[in-house]
Amino acid sequence: QVQLVESGGDSVQAGGSLRLSCEASADAFSQNYIAWFRQAPGKEREGLVSSDFAGGTPVYADSVKGRFTISLDDPQGTVYLTMNSLKPEDTAMYYCATAPGFMSQTRRLRPQGYTKWGQGTQVTVSS
């Protein structure tokens, strides 16, 4: 049973940085992909970045490309999302999720196909 637990959310000023953590159970790394999503109140869940576990090139959303970076620490079973140059529009609940099956690059930032989700961690960016 894949289990994911996010942490690291906080309230920061615009321009600041945060690093979110997603602690994954050992069997999570047998999945095909792990991704970070976010959802702001009244908005759809947005895919931010998707990575495979084989060292392939991550896929980033245009909204975060160049500001956010995903990294995997296999020995610790932790996936990180480093967020720089934060903006008020980055305010949302942030989730990590895993997907067991193959997805085309265009589908990897869509929530469909991701079957395991964490409970989320809140990020608030003030101007």
Q: What is the pLDDT of residue 77?
A: 86
Integer Cα distance of 80 and 35 in angstroms = 10
Q: What is the pLDDT of residue 29?
A: 81
For the cut 90, the answer to whether the pLDDT of residue 119 exceeds it is yes
Structure tokens at 77: 């079973």
For the cut 90, the answer to whether the pLDDT of residue 105 exceeds it is no
Integer Cα distance of 97 and 123 in angstroms = 17
Predicted confidence (pLDDT) per residue in 11-53, tens digit: 999 999 999 999 999 888 888 999 999 999 999 999 999 999 8
∠ CA 102-103-108, nearest 5°, is: 135
Mean pLDDT confidence for 66-79: 90
